[in-house]
Amino acid sequence: MPNMLEVRNISARYGNVTALHDVSLTVGQGEIIVLLGVNGAGKSTTLKTISGLLHPVRGGITFEGEAIDRMSPESIVRRGIAHVPEGRHVFPGLTVRENLVMGTSNRKVTRAETESDIERILEIFPDLKRLYTQMGWSLSGGQQQMLAIGRGLMARPKLLMLDEPSLGLAPVIIKQVFRTIKSINEAGMTILLVEQNVGLSLKIAHRAYLLETGRMIRTDTADALREDDGFRNALLGVT
């Protein structure tokens, strides 16, 4: 199967600090790929470089065969990559519905299309249906995460990038979030996930990449990595 996304030997910098060195990864249509690594390894920077918030100083990125590494974030969203950033960023003063509608702002859509997309998203997230008219600020962390993912889906992406969706959530809610990510993938969505929750990520992902201090040091199938105690322990910080 041809790769949907190809990141080839990219380096990225914040001023004088090089955060990514020669990083490569691929995402095939229909896959869940997880990008693992400890704090500061460069996971968020990789997503920011793909979504055009940062341009690589070396290397290239193609999406469906087209070079995107010089494009603006708006052009990249329009081509079908949605980025749900770390920390959710739900609009506190807008309702659930209004937050969802904000997700369409990069596309021209008819009112009827917006309504049918919202319907579809409320089926994926029944909680949001119940909270439809509530303000963003009044939602729990888990509900805000679901809303942030739902807003990402409103852009009708071909590739959904999720940055640490489990961050700061209770274990039972984290499980729910992962179940939802898996079901979105089973319905056909390709997903690039950044996570620190190694166990659950390797349960739902097809393949994984490991970043360490800005370098990609390992990649394998999730099945192989799940069986590799050394790999898991290194990431979990246990010996």
Which residues here bind ligand ATP, judged by CB under 6 A? 14, 17, 19, 37, 39-45, 86
* Nearer Cβ to ligand ATP (39/239): 39
Minimum CB separation of residue 90 from ligand ATP in Å reads 19
CB 216 within 8 A of CB 24: yes
d(CA 194, CA 165): 8
* Nearer Cβ to ligand ATP (40/199): 40
Residues 6+ apart with CB under 8 A from 228: 220
* Nearer Cβ to ligand ATP (44/143): 44
Residues 6+ apart with CB under 8 A from 21: 11, 214, 215
Minimum CB separation of residue 177 from ligand ATP in Å reads 16
Minimum CB separation of residue 45 from ligand ATP in Å reads 3
* Chain mean position to CA 12: 19
* Nearer Cβ to ligand ATP (49/99): 49
* Nearer Cβ to ligand ATP (45/51): 45
What type of residue is 35? L
* Nearer Cβ to ligand ATP (15/230): 15
Minimum CB separation of residue 10 from ligand ATP in Å reads 13
d(CA 2, CA 110): 32
CB 109 within 8 A of CB 103: no
| Residue corresponding to tokens 């519905």 | 97
d(CA 192, CA 189): 10
* Nearer Cβ to ligand ATP (37/165): 37
Minimum CB separation of residue 44 from ligand ATP in Å reads 3
Minimum CB separation of residue 161 from ligand ATP in Å reads 12
Minimum CB separation of residue 38 from ligand ATP in Å reads 7
Both tokens assigned to 141: 């962390």
Within 111-228, residue ranges assigned H as helices are 111-124, 126-130, 141-153, 171-186, 198-204, 222-226
Give 85's Cβ-side CA count (13 Å radius): 9
